[in-house]
Amino acid sequence: MTMNAARAVLNQGKTALLVCDIQEGFAKAMKGFDLFVQNSSRLVSALKILNVPMIVSEQYPKALGKTVPEIDISGAKVFAKTQFNMCIPELRKELSTICSGKKPESIILIGLEAHICIENSAIDLRMNGYEVHLVANCCYSRTQEDRLLALQRMRDIGCQITTSENVLYKLMKDSNHKEFKNVLSFVKTPIAYTGLVPVAKI
């Protein structure tokens, strides 16, 4: 089956970022959590420079805590939830007008856990007509098996499985972009390895 190439495009002004449940309570339960947070923090900071609007969810914060302080969610709407899906009514309403009064064409989706809240959110978003760009190195699960299989399932329902650097360059499109040099500072250092692909021995 040939993929519709237009679905892989990201445009500034027509793209929003959803940050799912990157909370303090998950830190001890996940090996490699610090690397995942490092990647997510860099992506969020770069997307803020590109003025990509952001919405954040927090799963039952009374028990799991707030979003980790390493990730700059200043200026974002934050929604507490109990569902295993970001797309609660309040978030849907915010999303519908987040791009200068209009809903975005594309969603950049990152967070926890890939096989639970991320996957359920991706399904919901796809069913409602959004193009979903799932950033693999900024999505995590407690086990690599759950994470890998979730990414495969999300690809099968039409999500773009991508990386943080890929989405940044897709948004900027040109080295003449006014924020290129500022964003470049976030990609000069290679992103932390999160175990999804084998490392070649040279």
81 given a catalytic annotation: yes
Residue of 20, 87, 99, 117 marked active site = 117
Residue of 21, 87, 99, 170 marked active site = 21
21 given a catalytic annotation: yes
The residues facing 79 across adjacent strands are 57
Known catalytic residues are 21, 81, 117
